[in-house]
Structure 1
Amino acid sequence: MRRKLAAGNWKMNGTRAALAEIAAMAEAAKGGAEVLICPPATLLAEAAQNEAGVAIGGQDCHAKPSGAHTGDLAADMLHDAGARYVILGHSERRQDHDEHNEDVRDKTRAAWDAGLTAIVCVGESLAERDAQNTLDIIGGQLAGSIPDGATGHSLVVAYEPIWAIGTGKVPTLDQIGDVHDFIRARLERRFGAGVGRSVRLLYGGSVKPSNAAEIFAVSNVDGALVGGASLKAADFVPIIQALNASTD
């Protein structure tokens, strides 16, 4: 059985005072689903020292283990600071930093070498959705962004339609299910049924307490990658609780 995962991406938000929010999420993290928070790098080490059952992850890493890369973080550095996961290929990185599939693939390989689980993000734009190119886009991102040798331990895939991130717009449940079923089939075809069925698939994009339960009931949705609603325990705990309930 795949363990459900509620992952929070804090993006460029949070100072040390925000660490209290992670502590407030700890009780909900005892409910069966795994809970992960990816804070900004300035908080990562302290958050990991006091995680109290909440896993901690990074938001990006460099493909190289060291070197003259001012401002970047190597995967080994994240691991040394206490991270267990790292988010890679998020649409904001692909757009704002011009990252391509091959960049994500190289970073994923570096994350694996450092002992981190990579959460590889895929998703289409609104124009691509309207042109009915969603599955072609997702298929290309999966093929190009994930290296050979994936396992259910080393890889999580997050489907985040770009047009739904932070907009309040959410795909229909059928649209979410179609993409997640497609991703599952592609993973099984490439890596074999055992590995393909063991990789957790997260949905991300305007997930909130009011819609979490219905999203978690969709085929092949093993959890969520949550942005703004993960910043406060009052918002994230109900999402975690909905995911815990979906495992019953």
Structure 2
Amino acid sequence: MAKITAGVATSHVPAIGAALDLGKTQEDYWKPIFDGYEFSKEWIKNEKPDVIILVYNDHASAFSLDLIPTFAIGCAEEFQPADEGWGPRPVPTVKGHSELAWHIAQSAILDEFDMTIVNNMDVDHGLTVPLSLMFGQPEEWPCKIIPLAVNVVQYPPPTGNRCYNLGKAIRKAVESFDADLNVQIWGTGGMSHQLQGPRAGLINKEFDTAFLDGLTKDPQGLAKMPHIDYVREAGSEGIEMVMWLIMRGALNDDIDERYRFYHVPASNCAVGHIILENK
């Protein structure tokens, strides 16, 4: 059967993608960030996932205020990089795993999660920046990717508890899929940041560190955190971290924290990253 072996969480700051695409990774400002992913790039080469379920939020590329799905799973065979106003990123086309995606959709819907099935969508920096951080700049991505878009832009986003339980439903679905696949699940977005208003540029290292600790030691406690705590402590865009709870819910209770990285700043954002392996 298919099996989820590990989870990865990482920020998806769009300026990181621009720095990589424009050859700025060795500049003084950006080098510490990219150095922080060197371990991860070697780790994933050894892990060789067949499929990655990549949880991210769309930034008005595939969806708009006309259509706001809470959870949307990409079931197509491929997904093109989105044009976010300055042309698509020069990254490979994302190849999906349609059969597994449809299986997850069916299983989750029958488990009473109202998943939106998407057969045609472009994917923006929320998905492609994490891939670039982990895989660099290959000619093609080395595995299949299933996009799972979560609404954390328009109120109300899903609760942390709903996200955590969706992760559990995804694990159940994967483990009932009749194929020998090494599957990873990634949660992206965050950490603390606010892009507008009087608190623009907010960074809360103490909150971010506690959240990373909680992913490893007390995910059930994190799942109970209300929306207002994310907004108050981590800024208006800090709510993106509920997506990390989907990743954590899809893992075993017993996990090993394999790697952690945290850096401030990256374009007025805190960059967080963690790798968790199932025991």
Q: Please report the TM-score for the alignment, with normalisation by the length of structure 1.
A: 0.41
- With a CA cutoff of 8 Å and minimum separation of 6, indicate the structure with the bigger relative contact order: 2
Higher helix share: 1
Structure with higher strand content: 2
